[in-house]
Copies of this chain bind each other. A is one copy, B any other.
Amino acid sequence: MQENLQVQLAHTPEGNPEPEHFQVVPTPMPQPDDGQVLCATQYLSLDPYMRSQMAGRHMSGTVSSGELMRGETISKVIESKHPDFAVGDIVRCFGNWQQYSVHKASELSKQSPKISPMSYGLSLLGMPGLTAYAGLIWIAKPKANDVVLIPAATGAVGSTAGQLAKLHGCRVIGIAGSDEKCAHAINNLGYDACINRKTEDLAERLNELCPDGVDIYFDLVGGETLNTVCNKLALNARVILCGLMEDYNKPTRTPGPMPGPIIGARATLTGLVVYDWEPRRDEFITDCLSHIGSGKLTMQEDIAHGINNAPAAFCRLMNGENRGKALVKIASE
């Protein structure tokens, strides 16, 4: 009988996760009941929030030792006992870190064939893209010539937000973890400047690059970076609070920005959770497809191959070694 390889958390890591914190385990092939659908995972999305689930600090719940790692997937229907789905349909679901998954119809969203490559449903036109779009366009409302600052500038959310900001006529400054990433941000993603957070002083560089302050800060990292930026806000600045990457590998969380400078800047800080914007996904996809068609919006994907390589790919992501959206290709299309 065919088996279903899945990746489980073996031990909860203390600091940065390593491949030995995971185990690849053969499990029985799942079988769909009436009303259910059997899917073969095509692409698995790897995301920083998973580290928070492992630590028991994420709103979506905890992944404990011995439990299947969770994640969003693009999957293909290979057996259907529900009238709305046919063999061969491409769907988006939480198929998790495994080769096969069974779902109720309500857990599946059909993916339009307009989304090409298929993996864009997890990257540029998926949750990272929707996160960038909701934060930048719907919450921060960029105006021409706004100074937009984006940490994790070359990551999935950051690179999308950066390109969208350029499309809106903003001056876009990135923060990234290496000279190579900074060069990529400037040369391929259209950033006007990019600060190497490991070799440059952020506060000093912001004083040089945007002496009038930051109009929009799309915070994907929290930690000291957030606090430094909140001292450099322009009048009526908008800060999107969206991720805590700097703290994900730490045992405790960094205190937040002091209110004084936020008051002085008349700034607005808004918490963003992408799930809230799901009802507007079609609107976002339609707008972005036009920019993709004209070549002004792209996504670099960092695709590992095979379920066995998912743990190493996740560890690379958490060490900042990925190049673009981290995905694992599980089955051949």
Contact = CB atoms under 8 A, between A and B. Distances in A.
A253 interface: yes
Interface in A9-52: none
Nearest to A257: B256
Contact of A259 (B244, B259, B260): B244
A273 interface: yes
A222 interface: yes
18 contacts: A227-B256, A241-B263, A242-B263, A244-B263, A254-B258, A255-B256, A256-B257, A256-B258, A259-B271, A262-B269, A262-B271, A263-B271, A264-B273, A266-B270, A266-B273, A268-B269, A268-B270, A269-B269
The 6 A-B residue pairs whose C-beta atoms are closest, nearest first, are: A255-B255, A263-B271, A256-B256, A269-B269, A241-B259, A256-B258
A267 interface: yes
A131 to B, nearest CB: 12
A5 interface: no
A271 B276 contact: no
Nearest to A273: B266
B253 A255 contact: no
Interface in A233-258: 241-242, 244, 247, 253-258
Contacts of A260: 57, 222, 244, 247, 253
A226 interface: yes
A207 B40 CA distance: 45
Interface in A37-78: 57, 59
Choose among A227, A253, A263, A270 the residue with the greatest number of B CB atoms under 10 Å from its CB. Answer: A263
A273 B268 contact: no
Nearest to A221: B259
A258 B253 contact: yes
A136 to B, nearest CB: 16
Given A256-B256, A263-B273, 9 more contacts: A219-B259, A222-B258, A244-B263, A247-B260, A254-B258, A256-B262, A268-B269, A268-B271, A269-B270
A256 B253 CA distance: 12
Contacts of A254: 258
A209 interface: no
Contacts of A317: none
Nearest to A241: B259
A265 B272 CA distance: 9
Contacts of A267: 270-271
A242 B260 CA distance: 9
A264 B255 contact: no
Nearest to A239: B269
A264 B267 CA distance: 20
